[in-house]
Structure 1
Amino acid sequence: MSDAKTLPAAPRDWAEREIGGVAEIRDTAHPRRNSPVWELVRPDGCRFFLKVSRTARSYERETLALRHAVPALGAGRAPQLRASSAEHLALLTTAVPGRPVRELALTAAQEYEAHRQGGLLLARLHAAGDLTGRRRAEAEGALCSVTQDADRRLEEAGDRLTEAERALVRTLTEQLRWVGPLPLGFIHGDARPRHLLWSGRAAWVGFERSRFAPVVQDFVTLACGVWADRPRLRTACLSGYGRELTPQELHVLKCLAGLDAVSALARGDEHDDPPLAAGGRRTLHRLMTGVFV
C-alpha cells in the first residue's frame, strides 16, 4: 500500500477496517481548507474520501448534513456517508463522479447547465431536513450571529480597509439587525465553484459548513465571486433554483457581501492567496460604487 505521510495512523486504520483495505492514499485537501481530506483507493479500484475535521462542530455539522439532508439531492449528486467516527472526528464517504467546474474547460452551454443544475440541487437541499424546534431557532438567529462576529472580522482586516470602507461595512452590518422574516432552510454553507462537480450531471461536495439558516446565505460566495464576472451564471443558477431572490434577500445579500469581502482581505494575506484578497477588494469596490446587485 502506498502511504500519505500526513494521514494519521488512527483514522487510517479505522478507515481501512471500514472499507476492507486500501491500496493507495492521495492527499486531496485544498491548501486553505481547515479539514484535511484524502482519497482512498481499494485494491479493487473503488474510491472513497476520508475527511478529518479540525473541530467537533465541523464534524457534527457535516455528519448531520450527510445523514439527514444531503440524500435529498439524489444518487450521484453528493457524497454518501459510508461511516463516521466521533473519536477521530472522521467521515468516510463515497466518491462522486466529476471534477470541480472551475477546473474544467467547459463550453458556454455546458457551464450554464452545470450552474443551472447546481441551483436545482441547492433548492432541494434548502428544503431538506427538519426545520423545527431548536433548528428553526438556529436559522432565525443566524443573521444575529453574523452581526456579533462583525467586529472581529473588521479588526482582522486592520488597515487593509479605508475609513470609508469600514464605515460602509459597519452600516451594512447594522442593517442586518432590522431584517424581517426570510426564507429559511438547510444551506450548503460554502457553495462555490470548487465544490460544484460536473460529469454531465452536477453534484455538490464539501458540507462541513452546512446548517439551518436564511437560504440567501448560500448565494453570498457566488455573488462575490463568479456571478460578478459572469452574470449569465447567476441567471443559470437561479433558473435551476426555481425563483429569483426577493428584494429583502437581495438587500441581505449586499449586507453579507461586505463582511465576506472583509474576511477575504484578511484571509488572502494570511494564507498568501492574492486572488482571494483581490476578490475581497473587488467586492468592496462594487459596494462602494453602488453596482453590487
Structure 2
Amino acid sequence: MSDTKALPRALRGWAEREIGVVNDVRDASHPRKNSRVWELVRADGCRFYLKIAPEARMYERETLAMRHATPALGAGRAPQLRASSAEHLALLTTAVPGRPVKELPLTAAEEYEAHRQGGLLLARLHAAGDLTGRWRREAEGALGAATQGADKRLEDAGDRLTPAEHTLLRNLAAELRRVGPLPLGFIHGDAWPRNLLWAGRAAWIDYERSRFAPVVQEFVALACGVWADKPWLRTACFSGYGRELTPEERHVLKCLAGLEAVSALTWGETHDDPHVTARGRRTLDRLMTGVFA
C-alpha cells in the first residue's frame, strides 16, 4: 500500500455528494504506477472505495460488471456500485468484508473452503449478463484475439526460450486457432487469490478485466499460479464450480498457459520482476515435461 497518491479534491467532493461527508481517506492503491484506489470512511464507520480506472476500456468493463453481472453473486459477495464518472474514469463502490486469501494465515481447511466458494461464485458470474449481440460476438472471438501477436511475443522472447520451447509454444498457439465452440460466459478476468476475499465466506473484487469470453479463460491465472503449488485448490474450485472442464477446455487451458508463460517471461525480465519471471518459467517447464494439468 502506497502513501504517495493523494485523492484529488474534485473527486472527494463528487464522492461526498454521493455518500455523505468522508472523515478519513486512505490510499489503497496497488504498488504500481497506474493503480489509484482510495478507501473512504464515513463518521458512522461505513467504508467505500473510490477507484480511477487505468484506461477507459477497464472503466467500461468494471462498470458493466457491477451493473449487470455481479449482483448475481449475492449480497456481500462483490462490491456494489454507488456511482460512476465517465469523465474521471472513476467508480465509487461499497466495501466488501474480508481480506485477500493470499494475505491470510488460513488453515488448509479454510483455504480449501475459500477456493470452493470462490469457484461457486465464478459459476454464478459466468451465467450472469446478457450473452447476445455484441457480447456474444466478442466472446466467440476471444480466443482468436488471444492468439493475435503470439508470433511477435515469441520473437520478443528471443533466447529466453530454447529452440524446443519455441517449437512447443508455436504449436500450442496454432492449435488454439483451430478450436471449436466452447462454453461462453461473463468472466472475472483477473481471478487471482489477491482478488478473492475471505471473512468466513468468499467474495470477488476488482472487475476491470471482466468480459464475455470462453469460461476456460477464467482459470489460466489460477492454473499458472496457486494451483501449481497447491493442486488440491483446483479440486476445491471445481467442486464449488459444479463441473470439471471438458477435455477440449483442458486442452485450451494448456494452450493458453503457453501464451501466458511467454508473456510472463518477457514482461518479468523487462520490468525486473523476478516473481513474474519465475511464474512464467515454471509454467513453461511444466508444459515441457508434460505435467501441466
TM-score, L = length of structure 2: 0.95
1:5 deviation in Å?
A: 4.2
**Is the contact between residue 190 and residue 218 of structure 1 (CA under 8 Å) also seen in structure 2?**
yes
2:213 & 2:250 partners in 1: Cα distance? 16
Post-superposition Cα deviations, 1:237-273, rounded to whole Å, max 9, x if no partner, equal 0000000100000000000001111121222234332
**Residue matched to 1:141:** 141
1:196 & 1:88 partners in 2: Cα distance? 27
1:5 & 1:282 partners in 2: Cα distance? 35
Moved more, 9-18 or 281-290: 9-18
1:7 deviation in Å?
A: 2.5
1:153 deviation in Å?
A: 3.0
Post-superposition Cα deviations, 1:16-38, rounded to whole Å, max 9, x if no partner, equal 22221222221212224744211
- State percent identity of aligned pairs: 77
**Residue matched to 1:121:** 121
**Residue matched to 2:227:** 227
1:4 deviation in Å?
A: 6.2
User: Given residue 58 of structure 2, which amino acid in structure 1 is its aligned partner?
Assistant: S
Taking a change above 3 Å as real, the CA distance of residues 27 and 151 of structure 1, as seen in their structure-2 partners, is farther
Moved more, 259-268 or 175-184: 259-268
**Residue matched to 1:284:** 284
User: Given residue 27 of structure 2, which amino acid in structure 1 is its aligned partner?
Assistant: D
**Residue matched to 1:261:** 261
Taking a change above 3 Å as real, the CA distance of residues 13 and 150 of structure 1, as seen in their structure-2 partners, is farther
User: Given residue 266 of structure 1, which amino acid in structure 2 is its aligned partner?
Assistant: T
Q: Secondary structure at the match of 1:124?
A: helix
Q: Which consecutive residues of structure 2, in runs of 5 or more, have no partner in the other structure?
A: none
Taking a change above 3 Å as real, the CA distance of residues 127 and 148 of structure 1, as seen in their structure-2 partners, is same
1:15 deviation in Å?
A: 1.7
Taking a change above 3 Å as real, the CA distance of residues 167 and 70 of structure 1, as seen in their structure-2 partners, is same
1:272 & 1:46 partners in 2: Cα distance? 39
Taking a change above 3 Å as real, the CA distance of residues 25 and 153 of structure 1, as seen in their structure-2 partners, is farther
**Is the contact between residue 173 and residue 259 of structure 1 (CA under 8 Å) also seen in structure 2?**
yes
1:215 & 1:88 partners in 2: Cα distance? 31
**Is the contact between residue 48 and residue 92 of structure 1 (CA under 8 Å) also seen in structure 2?**
yes
Moved more, 184-193 or 159-168: 159-168
Post-superposition Cα deviations, 1:207-246, rounded to whole Å, max 9, x if no partner, equal 0000000000000000001111111100000000000100
**Is the contact between residue 27 and residue 37 of structure 1 (CA under 8 Å) also seen in structure 2?**
yes
**RMSD of equivalent CA atoms:** 1.5
Moved more, 256-265 or 72-81: 256-265
Matches within 5 A, 1:171-186: 171-186=171-186
**Is the contact between residue 61 and residue 209 of structure 2 (CA under 8 Å) also seen in structure 1?**
yes
TM-score, L = length of structure 1: 0.95
2:75 & 2:4 partners in 1: Cα distance? 30
**Is the contact between residue 10 and residue 88 of structure 1 (CA under 8 Å) also seen in structure 2?**
no
User: Given residue 25 of structure 1, which amino acid in structure 2 is its aligned partner?
Assistant: V
Matches within 5 A, 1:39-54: 39-54=39-54
User: Given residue 46 of structure 1, which amino acid in structure 2 is its aligned partner?
Assistant: C
**Are positions 1:164 and 2:185 aligned together?**
no
Q: Secondary structure at the match of 1:281?
A: helix
**Is the contact between residue 4 and residue 26 of structure 1 (CA under 8 Å) also seen in structure 2?**
no
Matches within 5 A, 1:6-85: 6-32=6-32, 34-85=34-85
1:125 deviation in Å?
A: 0.1
Moved more, 164-173 or 246-255: 164-173
**Is the contact between residue 40 and residue 47 of structure 1 (CA under 8 Å) also seen in structure 2?**
yes
Moved more, 8-17 or 211-220: 8-17
**Is the contact between residue 40 and residue 48 of structure 2 (CA under 8 Å) also seen in structure 1?**
yes
2:55 & 2:253 partners in 1: Cα distance? 28
**Is the contact between residue 5 and residue 27 of structure 2 (CA under 8 Å) also seen in structure 1?**
no
- Number of matched pairs: 291
**Residue matched to 1:86:** 86
Post-superposition Cα deviations, 1:160-203, rounded to whole Å, max 9, x if no partner, equal 22232222111111111110110000000000100000000000
**Is the contact between residue 5 and residue 36 of structure 2 (CA under 8 Å) also seen in structure 1?**
no
1:121 & 1:146 partners in 2: Cα distance? 25
2:155 & 2:22 partners in 1: Cα distance? 46
**Residue matched to 1:107:** 107
1:77 deviation in Å?
A: 0.3
1:81 deviation in Å?
A: 0.3
Moved more, 17-26 or 220-229: 17-26
